[in-house]
A and B are shown apart, each in its own frame.
Chain A
Amino acid sequence: GQQVMQIPQYQHVQEGEDFTTYCNSSTTLSNIQWYKQRPGGHPVFLIQLVKSGEVKKQKRLTFQFGEAKKNSSLHITATQTTDVGTYFCAGHLYGNKLVFGAGTILRVKS
């Protein structure tokens, strides 16, 4: 079936280290969205990427959408304890179906 694979499932970093999570789709996506879920909370929208090769930044977060529109990444530079949580990608397949990745759990040691 149509899937969005997200890796790694879990990452534990030292505060100040960088972090990256990756999403790969088996089919071309019309766009991709990223969400963050704090521990005990609910997913909250971060950003949407639409164009092939698009790169967007939000402070220490950098989001990329692949040229083939089948993969995406979220990179956090110099992690802080406030970055802890689960990061989800969600790919919009053509035909209006939104498929979530399994999420990457980020823990930050201070």
Chain B
Amino acid sequence: DVKVTQSSRYLVKRTGEKVFLECVQDMDHENMFWYRQDPGLGLRLIYFSYDVKMKEKGDIPEGYSVSREKKERFSLILESASTNQTSMYLCASSVARGTGNTIYFGEGSWLTVV
């Protein structure tokens, strides 16, 4: 079974703090994604990566950055956390490039910024 592991399930951070959300997948998938999920808005893509050291902006990249130094690891960084970044963050991965590939999600990280 594909395993996508997010290191932190629940975090509480203060406004202005730097926040790291870590994600590791164990199936040698090329593609990795970060989404945030908010009630009524569904899943919105923040950043994605098709390869090591490669990143592309999704629909809502403002206030976020990412790092992919190794194929299995994709990190989401909030340089200066703000209260409007309180959300559930989902990491995901899929095999190869192209349409039609199943996306496997991690269990999610609930971030509260106070």
Contacts and interface: CB of A to CB of B under 8 A. Distances in A.
Interface of A: 6, 9, 30-31, 33, 35, 41-45, 48, 50, 88, 90, 92, 94, 96, 98, 100-103
Contacts of A90: 43, 103
A92 B31 CA distance: 15
B30 interface: no
Given A100-B42, A100-B43, A102-B40, A43 B99 contact: no
Given A9-B40, A42-B90, A102-B41, A92 B99 contact: yes
Main secondary structure of the interface of A (DSSP, over half): strand
A44 B102 CA distance: 9
B88 to A, nearest CB: 9
25 contacts: A6-B42, A30-B100, A31-B100, A33-B102, A35-B103, A41-B107, A42-B90, A42-B107, A43-B90, A43-B105, A45-B104, A48-B100, A48-B102, A90-B43, A94-B99, A96-B97, A98-B45, A98-B99, A100-B35, A100-B43, A100-B44, A101-B42, A102-B40, A103-B42, A103-B43
A90 B43 CA distance: 9
Interface string B31-71: 00001000011111100000000000000000000000000
A35 to B, nearest CB: 8
The 4 closest A-B pairs by CB, nearest first: A102-B42, A100-B43, A92-B99, A42-B105
B107 A50 contact: no
A61 B16 CA distance: 46
Interface in B71-114: 90, 97-100, 102-108
Contacts of B45: 98
Nearest to A92: B99
Nearest to A44: B105
Given A9-B40, A88-B42, A100-B42, A31 B99 contact: yes
A57 B67 CA distance: 40
A96 B102 CA distance: 13
Nearest to A94: B99
